[in-house]
Amino acid sequence: MNQVDLDDVRRSYARDMARVSASEDPRLEQAFYSVHREDFLPPGPWKLLVEGRYVDTPNSDPVHVYRNSAIALDARKGINNGEPHLHAMWIGAVAPKPGEDITQIGLGMGYYSAILSLLVQPGGRLTGFEIEGELAEIARRNLADFKNVSVVAGDAASRELPPSDLIYVSAAVAAPPESWLTALRPGGRLIFPWRPTIEVALAMLVRRVPDGFEARPLMTSWFIPCAGAASPRGSALPPTPSTAWRIRSLHLSRDRAPDKSAVAVYQHVWFSSAKLRGYNGSKA
C-alpha cells in the first residue's frame, strides 16, 4: 500500500476513534491521526489479539495496525497495546484539557501516552509509570519528542504520585491505593480497570468532588493485573456482578466507616451504591 493509501487509512481510523469516544473535543481526532500506532509497537509483522488468541499479520505493512485490535507488546507475558475503541471511550469519558497534569500507570511502549500528552497541551504534563523495565526504556525512547512527558520505571502502587488532574491506569486493580485518590486535585479524575473478583471486570471512573469521590462503572473491561494493586488484601466485602454496577461513590475508610450502602469494602477504601450529597451527576 502506498503512502497516500496509508494516510487515508490513518484518517479513517482517527475519525472512527473520535466517533467512538463521543467526545466534543475536535483535538481527539487529530491526536489519533498524528500519533502513528506502528511507531509504538515492536517491529512487524505484528500479533493481533483476535477472539482470545494471537493472529499474525501477513506482513509489516503499517495498514494492519489501524484496526480495533489489541496488539502484542510481549506475547509471552500477555502485555498488549490495548484496543483503540476502549481507550478512545476512556479518553472521551475523562476529557483531558490543556494545562492538566496526567499520571499514567502502565505505559506499555507509550502509544496512548503520546495521545494523552497532546490533549493536555499547551501547559500540561504527563508522568508515566511502567513497572516492566524494558518497556519503560522503550517508551522513554519512543516519547523522546514529546517534551511534556516523563517516564518512571517502577511500581506506581508503592510510590507517592504527583498531584494529578487525571490518573489513567492500564492494568487491573482490586482496589485503588489510597495514595492514588489523595493525589487527585479537586475535579481530578481516576479511570482504572476494576477487577476485584474473577466475575467482576469493569472500567471504573472516579472523580474528586467537594463532598468526596464520585464513582461509576463505565463498561466491562479486561486487563492484565496491576502489580502491587491486583490482590484484594483486607477485603471485608466483595462485590457481585450485579451490585458492582450500582456503585455511585467511593470513600476513604479513615474519613468514613462503611455503612449499609457499601458494595465492596477493602482495608483503606470502600465503594457505595449511594450518591454523594450535593453531587449533581455532571460529566467529568
If you write DSSP's letter for every residue of the chain in order, what string do you get?
--HHHHHHHHHHHHHHHHHHHT---THHHHHHHHS-GGGGSPSSS-EEEETTEEEE-SS--GGGGSSS-EEEEETTTTEEEPPHHHHHHHHHHH---TT-EEEEE--TTSHHHHHHHHHTTTT-EEEEEESSHHHHHHHHHHTTT-TTEEEEES-GGGSPPPPEEEEEE-SBBSS--HHHHHHEEEEEEEEEEE-SSSS--EEEEEEEETTEEEEEEEEE---PBPTTTSS-TT-SB---HHHHTT--EEEETTTS---TTEEEE-SSEEEESSPPTT------
Q: Quick one: pLDDT band at residue 157, thresholds 50, 70, 90?
A: confident
Residue 229 scores a pLDDT above 90: no
Q: Quick one: pLDDT band at residue 284, thresholds 50, 70, 90?
A: very low
Neighbours of 282 (CB within 10 A): 8
Q: Quick one: pLDDT band at residue 275, thresholds 50, 70, 90?
A: very high
For the segment 143-153, the average pLDDT, to the nearest whole number, is 97
Q: Quick one: pLDDT band at residue 197, thresholds 50, 70, 90?
A: confident
Q: Is residue 271 part of a domain?
A: yes
Q: Is residue 282 part of a domain?
A: yes
Q: Is residue 141 part of a domain?
A: no
Q: 83: buried, middle or exposed (CB in 10 Å: 19+, 13-18, 0-12)? A: middle
Q: Is residue 173 part of a domain?
A: no
What's the pTM? 0.93
Q: Is residue 69 part of a domain?
A: no
Q: Quick one: pLDDT band at residue 126, thresholds 50, 70, 90?
A: very high
Residue 231 scores a pLDDT above 70: no
Q: Is residue 269 part of a domain?
A: yes
Number of domains, the chain: 1
Least confident piece of the model among 57-71, 156-170, 193-207, 217-231: 217-231
Q: Is residue 38 part of a domain?
A: no
For the segment 159-171, the average pLDDT, to the nearest whole number, is 94
For the segment 21-38, the average pLDDT, to the nearest whole number, is 97
Q: Is residue 174 part of a domain?
A: no
Residue 282 scores a pLDDT above 60: no
Full domain range(s) for residue 238: 191-284
Q: Quick one: pLDDT band at residue 280, thresholds 50, 70, 90?
A: very low
